[in-house]
Each structure stands twice: as structure tokens, then as C-alpha cells.
Amino acid sequence: MDDHSSAYQRAFLEGPFADWLERVPADAIAGVAGNHDLLAARDPALLARLPWTYLSDSAATVGGLRVWGTPWAVTFGDWAFMEPDENLAVRFSAIPAGLDVLLAHGPPLGICDRAVRDADAGSAALRDAIERVRPRVCVFGHIHEGRGEETFAGVRCLNVSVVDERYVLRHEPVEVELEMQPAA
């Protein structure tokens, strides 16, 4: 990423994106970086300064829900936060049980991950982690044309991408309601 691209991305994140986060009608917001967040890969503190709970292979209680977030996806081009699936298995082994929401950038293998190239582009390691930890819901994007919802291992899995494969805004945001669970 050259200095011009870096400056442009920083200005967008600290300006229009931060302003949009402030206007979102929600009590709390959690988010992760993704493959286009090249600057965030170089300067992780930048996203942490925005008006949200930024998760990067970490957990937080957000709006009363236990959330784990990860920016990683299976290598799919030359982007940020991408690694081979065998490396992701090590990263995803840290995902704890007892989650309400697993927030990932990339999809699990075979679940709302069909790319334009007619290939499944998800992570087997993430799929294994979902089966192991069984969050109440798993939310992801990354593969824009995979938008949709499936159930896997009793877990509601949602690809909530709002743009198509050409990055054109095509869909409304998805709203998910979870009933609060009593503390164990």
C-alpha cells in the first residue's frame, strides 16, 4: 500500500466511516477488519480508536452479548488478513466456547461461501471452530456473492455482505435479534 492509498484510507476511516458509526441506531457496535483493510493490518490501533468495539482475534461483551471477532480469511488474492487454512486452524483454535456471536470476516467452508469462480472460498478451520464452540450465531461477509443464511451444527450462519461482487451496494443491512441468556 503506497502512502497515497494509506492517506486516503485513513481519511475515510476517521471521517465518513467514523461518522457513519456514530449515526448507526444501535446501543453498541462490534466490528472486525477485512481483506480491504490494508492500513488496519499495518496500524491496528487505527480501528481501535473508532466509535465501536474493534475485535481482532479477541472477545468482548458488547451490548450484553459475548462476542469473538476475527479479521482472517483463507488466502483469496493478495489482500490483508489472509492466510492458508492450516495457519487459520491455529488462530481459530483460540476461539472460546460460550459465545453468543462469532463475528468473522471470512466464511466457513461450504456455508454461504460460493464465489463467482464457482468455488467454495471458505475456511475449513472456521467450520471446525463453529462445530467445536457452537456460538448462537456466526456472522461474516467477504464473499459478497455468497450472501444468505444457512444452519450448520445447530448454529445460524449469516453472510451479511451488502455489496455484490462488483462492490455495488445491492442489499439492506441484516438485523439479527438475540434474546439475552441468563448468566450461568
| DSSP string computed for 140-170 | E-SSGGG-EEEEETTEEEEE---B-TT--B-
Would you write out the chain's pLDDT as a tens digit for each of its 184 residues?
A: 666 678 888 999 999 999 999 999 988 999 999 999 999 999 989 999 999 999 999 999 999 999 999 999 999 788 999 999 999 999 999 999 999 999 999 999 999 998 887 688 899 999 999 999 999 999 999 988 889 999 999 999 999 998 888 888 899 888 888 887 776 5
- For residue 35, the model assigns a pLDDT of 92
**Pairing mode, strands 30-31 and 53-54:** parallel
Number of domains in the chain: 1
Residue 181 phi/psi, 5-degree rounding, is -95, 140
CA distance readout (Å), 20 to 10, 26, 135? 15, 12, 28
Asked if the structure places residue 85 within a domain, the reply is yes
Asked, for residue 70, whether it belongs to a domain, the answer is yes
Give domain status of residue 171, yes or no.
Answer: no
Domain CATH for 138: 3.60.21.10
Residue 177 lies in a domain: no
Q: Where are the alpha helices (DSSP H) in 27-182?
A: 38-42, 44-48, 85-92, 124-133
CB 77 within 8 A of CB 35: yes
In a domain, 83, yes or no: yes
**Given the C-alpha cell 481459530, which residue does it identify?**
92
Q: What pLDDT sits at residue 179? A: 83
Q: What is the reported pLDDT for 137?
A: 98
Predicted local confidence at residue 4, as pLDDT: 65
The C-alpha cell that represents 76 in the structure block: 483469496
| 178 within domain boundaries | no
pLDDT, residue 16, reads 96
Domain that holds residue 68: 3-159
Separation of alpha carbons 80 and 105, rounded Å: 11
Task: Confirm whether 13 is domain-assigned.
Answer: yes
d(CA 22, CA 17): 9
